[in-house]
Amino acid sequence: MNLDQPHPLLEVRNLGKSFGDRRVLSDIDLALWPGEVLAIVGESGSGKTTLLRCIDGQVAPDAGEVGFRSRSHGTVDLAGLSESQRRRVIGSDLGYVHQNPRDGLRLDLSAGANIGEPLLQAGLRHYGRIREIASDWLAKVEIDPGRIDEPPARFSGGMQQRLQIARNLVTGPRLVLMDEPTGGLDVSVQARLLDLLRRLAADLDLAVILVTHDLGVARLLADRLMVMQAGRIIESGLTDQVLDDPHQPYTQLLVSSVLQL
C-alpha cells in the first residue's frame, strides 16, 4: 500500500443515485490509494453493487464526482465523461470482476481467447504473443495451461472465477472492482481463491474494491472496510478496527451474527 503517495487513485465525492423515486446511494465519499484493498460490506439492497457500477461507468450517477487518476490524462471525473472519452482516458486501467463468472466470460470461446480478448482490445495483434501471455496467466491463476483451448463452459465454478480474474488482470489494470468474487463457491475453493487474490494484489500493487457480505473474506483481504446500509456509508475504518470494535448497531449485529466455530 502506498499511503505516502500524495494523491489517491480514486476519489469519490458526494455520489448519489436514484432509480425513480428510490434513493439507492446518498452522499458516498471514499478515497482509495494505489495498492490498497477496500472492502464494502452491507446487507442485500444496501447499494454496494450500484456503487461499483457507478464507478465502472455501467450506471450514470445523478450527483457527485468520481475522480480517477489516469496514467495518461491526470485526474479526471469519470462521471462526466462520454463512453468514448472514458475508454480513451481509462484504457485498461480498470477491471471488473462479476459475481457470476458467466457474466464476465465468453463461455463458447476457448480459455485462451477469453484472456486474449482484453489484449486484442488494447491493440495487440500478434497471435504468438497473445498465446504466450494467455498461458502464463493460466498458470498464474492455477489453471493447467494445457487446457488453454478448452471453453470455460467445461471448467468448474472456481476455475471459471479464476479465469475471469486472469482476464481482468492481463492488461495490468491499477484498479479492479470485484463484486462478490467468492459468492457461490464452496468453502475450500473460496479459501484458495482468496489466497490467490491476496497474492496477486500484493504482487501487482493492485488497488481493489471488494464488495462482499462475507465478513471473513473482508477480514482476510481488506486493508480497510466500509459498512453500507440503505445507500449510505455508516461506518468505515481499518478492517480490524471496525470488526473488533464496531460502533454502529447494524455493524454490531453483523459482527455478532458470524458463526464462531
Partner 1 sequence: MNAPTTKTAASAASCTNGYNFAYLDEQSKRMIRRAILKAVAIPGYQVPFAGREMPLPYGWGTGGIQVTASIIGRDDVLKVIDQGADDTTNAVSIRKFFAKTAGVRTTTKTAEASLIQTRHRIPETPLQAGQVIVFQVPIPEPLRWLEPRETATRRMHALGDYGPMYLKLYEDIARFGRVTTAYDFPTVVNGRYLMSPSPIPRLDNPKLDRSPALQLFGAGREKRIYAIPPHTTVKSLDFEDHPFSTERWSHKCARCGAGDSYLDELVMDDHGTRRYVCSDTDYCDSRLSAGGRR
Q: Which residues ranging from 61 to 100 are in contact with partner 1 (CB under 8 A)?
A: 83-84, 87
Q: Quick one: cell of 252? A: 454490531
Among 23, 102, 106, 213, binds partner 1 (CB under 8 A): 106
DSSP, collapsed to helix, strand or coil, labels residue 200 as helix
Among 148, 211, 218, 222, binds partner 1 (CB under 8 A): 148
Interior/surface letters 150-164, b for 16+ CB within 10 angstroms, e for the rest:
ebbeebeebbbbbbb
Among 125, 187, 188, 261, binds partner 1 (CB under 8 A): 125
The β-bridge relationship of strands 22-32 and 37-42 is unpaired
CB of 6 to partner 1, least distance (A): 34
Provide, for the chain, the percentages of residues in helix, strand and coil under a 3-state DSSP scheme, each rounded to the nearest 5: 40, 25, 35
- In angstroms, the CA 237 to CA 35 distance is 17
CB of 77 to partner 1, least distance (A): 20
CB of 149 to partner 1, least distance (A): 5
Among 11, 93, 117, 235, binds partner 1 (CB under 8 A): 117
Q: Does residue 113 interact with partner 1 by CB under 8 A?
A: yes
Phi and psi for 19 in degrees, rounded to 5?
A: -105, 105
Instruction: With contacts defined by CB under 8 A, name the span among 122-130, 175-183, 190-198, 246-254 that binds partner 1.
Output: 122-130
Q: Containing H/E element for 116?
A: helix 111-121
| Residue 122 or 202 having the CB closest to partner 1 | 122
Residues that bind partner 1 (CB under 8 A): 83-84, 87, 106, 109-110, 112-113, 116-118, 120-123, 125-128, 130-131, 148-149
